[in-house]
Amino acid sequence: MTELRHRGTTDNDLQHQQSDDKGSENEGKAEKDGASDSETKPDTGLPEVPVTADDTPEVLNKALSGLSSRWKNWWVRGILTLAMIIFFFIIIYLGPMVLMMIVLCVQIKCFQEIIHIGYSVYHSYHLPWFRTLSWYFLLCVNYFFYGETVTDYFSNLVQREEPLRILSKYHRLISFTLYLTGFCMFVLSLVKKHYRLQFYMFGWTHVTLLIVVTQSHLIIHNLFEGMIWFIVPISCVICNDIMAYMFGFFFGRTPLIKLSPKKTWEGFIGGFFSTVVFGILLSYVMSGYSFFVCPVEFNSDHNSFEVDCEPSDLFQLQDYALPAALQSLTGWPTVRLYPFQIHSIALSAFASIMGPFGGFFASGFKRAFKIKDFANTIPGHGGIMDRFDCQYLMATFVNVYIASFIRGPNPAKVIQQLLALRLDQQLHIFNSLKTHLTERGLLEEAA
């Protein structure tokens, strides 16, 4: 979302920025800083990604042809933003299955964009096997992660089908073997002249996998917890972006960080407060529907996903007594809230404060490799990765938050593990559990 702020201004500013970049390059050349700057010299060999590579669709161009070029850019971005938000609503409506597919597609596209950058930075198109190997590693890691998820959530289905049962029992071994094959292929593909390049690309692929794939997997975990755990965090990040932009546009004065010169403290703080408010309102609206708050389950009879349950305590309205200060202010003794709304404050706070760091990281990355955008997939916005750079930290945070504060272990999984133990171990656990439950008063003392 960083480009939103960089470019929602006049073309003059755009040119200023480009000359800023060139200025930094000149500075780099002037200094006798030794090897660190020897890298900036070869970079002039890299073609600058031309800003004007315009793949806005014809229809938009015609509709906007009358307007001045300043507003044209603004309108293109605005329309695309609206289109993306509507698309978001549609896929929510279509349900969890479609959401999972979309997450998978976004992940693949992000991976492709980053690998593509690596290729163009290192002129690595001639490396033997490497495209194949990168995609192969992507498949392996996805297989590993989705296998673990599927076993957890689809346990009924898996137990029934024999081949699935074997795949799930030896899942780790199979994944490891697949990965090893890729590793051996890499070693065998090392070519004398290109060792360093090949190791760079290997490292690049793995770091990309680490970032993109593990976090999209965490998004799916959050989704299974309940669609609200997917929708609210994403919406908070999007809202923070838009709000910070608006506040920055109207009130922006003090720059925030050297890395992204267009960001301002006013935008940052304004975005923070409005995102918190937005989060509270959104959670209020969503907590009322079981479609959003229930864990996604796979119904093996109908072979489809369903969200049907008794909403947990978190999504039941409760009365909270306001602290005395607020009471005198608003005249209400208590307020009815969903507990989830209080959690949403934590989520919004994280999105507003830490989310931008993901954006700064991506900005730094783009400046380091002298690229304007990750790709040109979305007209006016750049690549998919540009849109999702702040989301990734958010997904990890939500997952850790749920694991720490909300959810306990999954009972079905615990039973499964329990029944897999040896009988004497089961007996031992049975006795411990009996003592524990008796102490808690849930069991009567045995006669």
Contacts to another protein from residues 91-130, by CB under 8 A? 121-123, 126
Phi/psi for 255 (5° steps) reads -65, 150
Site track 297-336 with another protein (rule: CB under 8 A), x = hit:
----------------------------------------
What region does 388 belong to: left with phi over 0, alpha with psi -120 to 50, or beta? alpha
376 SS3 class: coil
428 binds another protein (CB under 8 A): yes
Torsion of CA 339, 342, 347, 349, to 10 degrees: 180
400 binds another protein (CB under 8 A): yes
Sites for another protein among residues 368-387 (CB under 8 A)? 368-369
Nearest distance, CB of residue 71 and another protein, angstroms: 32
- Binding segment for another protein among 26-34, 72-80, 95-103, 264-272 (CB under 8 A)? 26-34
Q: Do 421 and 429 form a contact (C-beta atoms < 8 A)?
A: yes
> Measured from the CB atom, is 139 or 429 closer to another protein?
429
- Measured distance CA(117)–CA(204) in Å, rounded: 10
Quick one: which of 53, 59, 86, 420 contacts another protein (CB under 8 A)? 420
Give me the half-sphere count of Cα atoms (radius 13 Å) on the Cβ side of residue 412. Answer: 7
**In sequence order, what are the residues at sequence separation of 6 or more whose Cβ sits closer than 8 angstroms to the Cβ of residue 144?**
171, 172, 175, 179
86 binds another protein (CB under 8 A): no
Nearest distance, CB of residue 271 and another protein, angstroms: 17
199 binds another protein (CB under 8 A): yes
- Measured distance CA(45)–CA(126) in Å, rounded: 18
54 binds another protein (CB under 8 A): no
CA angle 49, 51, 52 (to 5 degrees): 120
> Measured from the CB atom, is 78 or 128 closer to another protein?
128
How many residues make contact with another protein (CB under 8 A)? 95
69 binds another protein (CB under 8 A): no
- Binding segment for another protein among 224-232, 330-338, 373-381, 410-418 (CB under 8 A)? 410-418
396 binds another protein (CB under 8 A): yes
Amino acid identity for residue 390 in this structure = C
Sites for another protein among residues 125-154 (CB under 8 A)? 126
According to DSSP, the residues that pair with 306 across neighbouring strands are 297
Sites for another protein among residues 164-193 (CB under 8 A)? 169-170, 172-173, 176, 180, 183-184, 186-188, 190, 192-193
Among 337, 142, 348, CA closest to 241: 348
- Measured distance CA(286)–CA(446) in Å, rounded: 46
